[in-house]
Structure 1
Amino acid sequence: MSELRFSLADVAGVRLAVSPANETVMSMWALANPIRYAVHLPWIDRARVTLRRPEVADRVRPLVGLVVPGRWLPDFLTPAARPNVEMAEQLDQIAATPPAVVVQDLLSTTWQKPLSPFGRALLADPGGLLPQVVDAVRVWYDEAIAPDWPRMRALLDADVAYRAAQLAESGAGRFFEQLHPSLRWHGDRVISDDTFERDFDLRGRGLALNPTVFTEQHVLWNLLEDSLPVGAYPVRAVGTLWEAAASPPGDPLARVIGPGRTALLYLLETALTTTDLARLTGMSAGNVSQHLAALHGAGLVSRSREGRHVRYRNTDAAAVLVRASRGG
C-alpha cells in the first residue's frame, strides 16, 4: 500500500499531461511480456520486427537493459511532463539528470532484482553512459512509437480532457477515486492499494498525472521522495487503440450506414474530438465532421463543449447498434 500526503497547495497543483517519454520507456514491458499486454499485439508484432534490425538493436540495448520486467523503473527515465510537452524536451530532461541522481535512482530499483550488465556499467559511470541512454530512448521513440504516436496521442489527450473535467466538477477526493479502482481519498491523502509501499509527502510540489497505454493494472508512482511527484495511470478505452480505422469486411452496420460512420461509432465509446477521430481513422477532419453531423442528426452521437473543444460520444441508441453489429 502506498500513501501520498497532500497539502492545500498540492491539491491545487494536481495536473494532467501526456508524456511521450513514458510511452516510449514503458512500451518495453509490453515487448517483453506480450501475453500480459495482449491488447497491444498489433503493435508488439511490428515492434519486434523493428528491434530485430541490427542498427536499431545496437542503439536501443541500453534501454532494454534498464527496463527489466519485474523491476521498477529508475525515476529519471520517466520525468514529469507538462501539458503539450514534446519528446525532444523530455529527452533534454533525461540528458540533464545529474550523475548523483542517476545513481540514486538506479539503486532504488535493486531491492527487487539486481541491475543488468548495462545498469551496473551506468551505475559506475553515470556521466559517461547517460548519453547512450538518451540516444536509446530517442531511437526507440523514432522507430517504434512515432509511427503510431498520432493515434496514441489522440487517445491520451481524450483521457486528459475527460479527467480534467472530472477534477473540476468533482473535486480532488472524488477525482482520485474515479481515476482508478485501487485509489481512495482519506482526509489529506491518497491511499493506493498496491504492492509498492511508498510513502510520499508531496511538500507543496503538486502531482503530475500521466495516462499511459502501457500500464494495465496499477497506478505507478515515482520511487523516491526527492523525485518530482509523478503518477502514471491506465488510460481509458485502451482496447480501441489498435482497432482498424475501417469497419471489418462484411460488417452489417457498415452495410447500413457506411464504413466511415461505422468506424466512428466504434471509436466513440469514449468521448473524442474531431481532431482525435481524424488521427485515429486516417480520415480528413472535414470528412469526419460531415459524418458526425449526420450521426448527430440521426440521434446516434451527442456532443458537449469543454473549453475550446467539442467532444462527441455515442448515445444509448448508437451503443445498441454497435453491440448488435458485434454480435453482443
Structure 2
Amino acid sequence: MSQLRFGAADVAGIRLAISPVWETVSSMWALDEPIRHAVHLPWIDRARVTLRRPEVAVRVRPLVELTRPRRWLPDFLTPPAARPDVELAEQLDQIAATPPAVVVRDLLATTPRRPLSPFGRALLGDPRRLLPQLVTAVRIWYDEAVAPDWSRIHALLEADIAHRAAVLAEAGAGQFFGQLHPTLRWLGDRVVSDDPWRLDFDLGGRGLVLNPGVFAERRVLWNLLEESPPGGTYPVRAVGTLWEVGPAPSGDPLARVVGSGRAALLHLLDTAATTTDLAHRVGMSCGNVSQHLSALLAAGLVARTRQGRHVLYRNTEAGMVLLRAARGE
C-alpha cells in the first residue's frame, strides 16, 4: 500500500494533462506482453513490424532495454507534463536536461525489483554521454510507432480528462479520487493506493500532476521518489474502444433502423465522448459525425453537455434501450 499526503495547496494544485512521452515509453510494455495488453493487438501487430526494421531496432534499443516487463521506470524518463497541451519535444528537452546525479539516483531507485539492463548499467556509469541516445530512442519510437495513431490516442485521453475535470470541479477531491480508480481511497488529507510499492510521500505544496494512460492497464502508477516532481498515471476510460474503426457491421439490427453511421456512434456512447474523439474512432469526418449527432440529439437518443471547453455526448436512457434491444440484452 502507498500513500500521498496532501496539504491545502496540494489539493488546489491537482492538474490533469496528456503526456506524449508517457504513452511512447509505456507502449513498449504492450510489445513485450501482448496477451496482457490484448486490447491493443491491432497496434501491437503494426508496431512489431516497425521494430523489426534494422534501422529502427538499433536506434530504439536503449528504450527497449529500460522498459522490460515488470521493470520500474526511472522517474526522469516520464516527467509530469508541465502543462495540459505539452508537446513531445518539450518533454524530450526536459529529459535531456536531467542532471547526471538525478539520472543516477533515479536509475538506482529502480533496482530493488530488477537489476539494471546492460544499457541501464552503461547509462549509470556515463549519463552525460548516453542520455542523448535514450532521448533519441524515445523520439524515433514516437515518430515510427506512436505518431501514426496519435490523433486517435489523443482524442481518447482528451475525452477522459474532460470527464475527470468535471468530477473534480463539481464533486471535489474525495469523489475525484474515488472514481479515478478502484484501488484509490481519499482519507481527507491523503490518497491511499492499494498497490505493492509502499510509497509514502508528502507532496509538500507541490501539487500533483495526473495523466491518463492508454498502456497503464491495472493500477495507478506513481513516480518512485518523493524528491521527484509528483506525478501519477491512471488507466484511461473506455480503452476498449480505442482501435474500433468503421461503421457498425451490416448485420447489426440497430444499423438497419437508424443507419450504420448513427448505430456506430450509439455503440460508442456508453461513455461520454467529444465529436473529435468519435470521428477518430469511427473513421468519419467531424462534419459527418456532427450531422449524425444532431439527428440523434433531436430524436432524444443522445444528450449533450458542456464541460469547460469540451462538448460531450452520451447516450440517453432511450438510446440505451435501443442498444440493449439490438444486443439482445
For the superposition of Structure 1 and Structure 2, which TM-score range results when normalised by the shorter chain?
Answer: over 0.9
Q: TM-score scaled by structure 1?
A: 0.97
C-alpha contact 2:162 2:308 (8 A) present in aligned 1: no
How is 1:205-284 mapped onto 2 (pairs within 5 angstroms)? Answer: 205-284=206-285
Instruction: Decide which moves more: 169-178 or 224-233.
Output: 169-178
Matched AA of 1:24: T
Residues 18-67 of structure 1, C-alpha deviations (whole Å, 9 max, x = no match) = 11111111111111001111111111111111111111111110000100
Alignment deviations for residues 278-302 of structure 1 (CA, whole Å, 9 cap, x no partner): 2222322211111001011111110
The amino acid that maps onto 2:59 is R
Secondary structure of the corresponding residue to residue 311 of structure 1: strand
**Preserved CA contact (<8 Å) 1:34 1:44:** yes
Mapping 1:49-68, distance limit 5 Å:
49-68=49-68
* 8 Å Cα contact 2:244-2:282 kept in structure 1: no
Which one-letter code corresponds to 1:252 in the other structure?
P
Other-structure match for 1:147: 148
Secondary structure at the residue paired with 1:279?
helix
Name the % identity. 74
1:230-287 superposed Cα distances (whole Å, 9 cap, x missing partner): 0100011111111123222422222221121122112212111222222222322211
Counterpart residue identity of residue 70, structure 1: R
Equivalent-residue separation in structure 2 for 1:136 and 1:153 (angstroms):
21
Shift of 1:327: 4.3
Which amino acid in 2 is paired with 1:57?
A
For 1:245, the aligned partner's letter is G
**Distance (Å, rounded) in 2 between the aligned partners of 1:273 and 1:57:** 36
Match of 1:183 in 2: 184
Equivalent residues in 2 for 1:161-200 (5 A)? 161-200=162-201
Q: Would you identify which runs of 4 or more consecutive aligned residues in structure 1 move more than 6 Å?
A: none
Distance in 2, matches of 1:54 and 1:199, equals 43
State the distance in 1 between where 2:191 and 2:213 align.
20
Task: Give the secondary structure class of the aligned counterpart of 1:232.
Answer: strand
Q: Amino acid of the residue matched to residue 142 of structure 1?
A: D
What is the correspondence of 1:313-328 to structure 2 with a 5 Å cutoff? 313-328=314-329
Mapping 1:128-143, distance limit 5 Å: 128-143=129-144
Q: Distance in 1 between matches of 2:308 and 2:122?
A: 49
CA distance in 2, matches of 1:68, 1:157: 28
- The aligned amino acid for 2:318 is A
Structure 1 partner of 2:46: 46
Moved more, 100-109 or 244-253: 244-253
User: What amino acid maps onto 1:146 in structure 2?
Assistant: A
Long gaps (5+) in structure 2: none
Partner of 1:287: 288
Q: 1-side partners of 2:317 and 2:216: how far apart?
A: 29
Give the residue type in structure 1 aligned to 2:308.
Answer: G
Determine the C-alpha separation between the residues in 2 that align with 1:315 and 1:97: 49
Partner residue in 1 for 2:121: 120
Going from structure 1 to structure 2, the CA distance change for 1:47 and 1:323 (only over 3 Å counts) comes to farther
Aligned counterparts of 2:45 and 2:67: Cα–Cα separation in 1: 19
Counterpart code for 1:38? A
Residues 253 and 321 of structure 1 are in contact (CA less than 8 Å); yes or no, is this contact kept in structure 2?
yes
Give the letter for the 1:322 counterpart: L
**Contact 1:150/1:280, CA 8 A, preserved across alignment:** no
Is 1:308–2:309 an aligned residue pair? yes
1:97 CA displacement: 0.9
Asked if 1:20 corresponds to 2:27, the answer is: no
Measured on the aligned residues, the alpha-carbon RMSD in Å equals 1.2
Q: What's the offset of the Cα at 1:176?
A: 0.7
Task: Give unmatched runs, 5+ long, in structure 1.
Answer: none
Matched residues, number: 328
